[in-house]
Structure 1
Amino acid sequence: MSGFAFRVADGAVHAVAVDDAPGATGDLVWVHLAANDREAHRWLCERAGLGDHIADTLTASETRPRCDPAPGDGVFINLRGLSDEARELSDPLASVRIYAREGRVVSVSRKRLNGVAVVCDAIAGGGIDDPGDLIAAIATAITNELDPAVADLGDSLDDCEERLEADNAFALRRRVNHVRIEAIGYRRFLYPQRSALEKLATIEVPWLAEDDRLHLGAAADRAARMAEELESIRERAALIHETLTDLRAEQIDQRSLIIAVVAMVFLPLTFLTGLLGMNVSGIPFAHRSWAFAGVVLVCAVLALAITAYFARRHWFRR
């Protein structure tokens, strides 16, 4: 079974084989399984002896952040965090499903969460002593990593706003759409994650100390702030997209106007040259030496007069 396990007893931390973890005792035994649902379900039932209800909850396909009491003094909590492994843009956060009770925590994830590695370093350094510390550390690590990611989305929109030009519309529109989709993906999980952390902080279980509840409340507040920031980013992205569309439409209108003016300038000239170019007799001054220069001069004067008329009407003004 892929994963790892730690045992904390009397302040000492020991790495334990995953298959030996069910029999380990101490202030905290943490087993983390990095496996697909079928493998994890079989191990939870056969090796850990947790029962079908707990195994089903830890391997459920629905991994929306939530928190529910478990039989006895246990708690189920699902959280979402960043992962280095490739994910869909609309679903950018990987899940971790956790069952905790006095002295024991079991977590399951399909993708490798970056926050879990941070917690492993903390527990190896002796900074985690019980299940309450561990759950608070996981929530804090996930939130700490998400905060700069959300800030980067806002910075990307700031850069797009500074470069708002019709000539950059296509590239900027693609970038804004990417930011908007990513913000929606984060926001989809941060609102329920805030609710899950707030609920966990209020559940009365003996292994959750007051400082753990404070840390969980702080993580919930940061999740709420990030969700609000993501909502602002989504609205700003929509406004930028509309502005780019308007700029592009204005640019097309301006170019269409110029084409129309040029056509209007040459329309009478085309008529004049077509009329004089007819192969019939009776065209005035056809045999004079200055006839060609005179026609060119008349065309130039006519073109300038039409152009001056449109200029006075402000057709060329943006």
Structure 2
Amino acid sequence: MSRVFVHDGQTTHEEHLDAFCASPTTPYFVWLHIDGRKEDARHIAGRLSDMPEPAISALVAQETRPRCTFMGPGALINLRGPGVEAEGDFGDALVSIRIWAQKGRVISVSYRTLAALEPIMARMMNGTIHDPGDLIACLAQEITDVLDPEVAELGDTLDDIESEISEEGPTESRRRVSAIRATAIAYRRFIAPQRQAIERLAMAEAPWLEDDDRLHLQEAADRCARMAEELEAVRERSALAHEGLTDLRAEQMNLQALIISIVALVFLPLTFITGLLGMNVDGIPYAHEPWAFWGVVGVCAALAGAITAWFIASHWLKR
């Protein structure tokens, strides 16, 4: 359901949408958040704002990338951040929130629940957010606060895999490295343009942006830049680790093939001897002697020992 937060210059309270639309007074600052999965976001946004039609279309778009575009009296800002894990949504790695900001008013739309949304709503109700600049700056900072540990965890996990390659099988390590690389690529797809969007907003000459808001936005942009660089490093390290694990797996397979070949070479002459003596024809020497069986066994054992000794002397078993 949509939620309307109204700040009258002193305190902040939440109102029902219909009651707010029927109120004749214009508040100092209002924030309307719309859950696009349950409501007609286009209709609700049209009731509260005179946004340009392209801005409304962008606000309710299903597929978005981080951006900051000024249109008429306000700006359209798309940001991305981690979603709520309990929902189990399948889609992009980062959840999108679309924001229309103008003097005294912010309208936001989301189709999946952003993890940073509840803390921002709590700060709004506590009275720490007084205008659109405060809201967007706090949202950008909250997103980076939630996302930064996840990016750092990717690098830490990759460090652990690189140190444990000799302890666990290459197949499991390759699977974990592939998952880390895929996550890093998915995150970087949105983090890099999000940095540009926040920087553009911080440098914009918007009347509803104050100096402290610009400082907070610039700090969030710097953190996005650092995360983008770290994600790029994780992606490159994952590729190198994947190649190393592939080489390690190939080496292990070659070693196993070598062992099998050595065993086959040891038993090849023994198989020939037993096959030759096992023919059902007359004339086999010592066929009726009581010691013949153990004699053949002794000859085979001696031959197998000699072949094995030759392999050891030739360092085949150490390759």
* Short-chain TM bin: over 0.9
Q: 1: distance between equivalents of 2:33 and 2:45? A: 11
* Cα 1:247/1:308, change in 2 over 3 Å: same
Once the two structures are TM-superposed, the CA of residue 179 in structure 1 deviates from its matched residue by 1.6
Q: 2: distance between equivalents of 1:64 and 1:295? A: 79
Identity, in percent, stands at 50
- TM-score w.r.t. the length of structure 1 is 0.93
Range moving further from structure 2, 237-246 or 135-144:
237-246
Q: 2: distance between equivalents of 1:208 and 1:66? A: 17
Give 3-state SS (helix, strand or coil) of 1:316's partner: helix
* Mapped pair 1:201 → 2:192: no
| Contact 1:21 1:29 (8 Å CA) reproduced | no
| Contact 1:165 1:244 (8 Å CA) reproduced | no
Once the two structures are TM-superposed, the CA of residue 37 in structure 1 deviates from its matched residue by 9.4
Instruction: Show the counterpart of 1:287.
Output: 288
* Mapped pair 1:121 → 2:122: yes
Q: 1: distance between equivalents of 2:294 and 2:18? A: 101
**Paired letter, 1:26:** P
1:33-72 alignment, distance < 5 Å: 33-36=34-37, 39-46=40-47, 48-72=49-73
Instruction: Show the counterpart of 1:4.
Output: 3
Once the two structures are TM-superposed, the CA of residue 47 in structure 1 deviates from its matched residue by 5.1
Q: 1: distance between equivalents of 2:90 and 2:175? A: 17
Range moving further from structure 2, 210-219 or 287-296:
287-296
Q: 2: distance between equivalents of 1:11 and 1:313? A: 89
Instruction: Show the counterpart of 2:81.
Output: 81
Q: Describe the superposition over 1:235-259 as per-residue Cα deviations: whole angstroms up to 9, x where unpaired.
A: 1222222222212111111111111
Instruction: Show the counterpart of 1:158.
Output: 159
Once the two structures are TM-superposed, the CA of residue 38 in structure 1 deviates from its matched residue by 7.5
Q: 2: distance between equivalents of 1:216 and 1:152? A: 24
Instruction: Show the counterpart of 2:142.
Output: 141
Q: CA RMSD in A?
A: 1.9
Range moving further from structure 2, 31-40 or 172-181:
31-40
Range moving further from structure 2, 227-236 or 45-54:
45-54
**Paired letter, 1:69:** F
- Listed as ranges, the gaps of 5+ residues in structure 1 are none
Q: Describe the superposition over 1:93-136 as per-residue Cα deviations: whole angstroms up to 9, x where unpaired.
A: 11111111111111111111111111111111121111111110
Once the two structures are TM-superposed, the CA of residue 86 in structure 1 deviates from its matched residue by 2.5
1:1-318 alignment, distance < 5 Å: 2-22=1-21, 25-36=26-37, 39-46=40-47, 48-72=49-73, 74-84=74-84, 85-88=87-90, 91-165=92-166, 168-318=169-319
Q: 2: distance between equivalents of 1:301 and 1:295? A: 10
- TM-score w.r.t. the length of structure 2 is 0.92
Q: 2: distance between equivalents of 1:187 and 1:202? A: 23
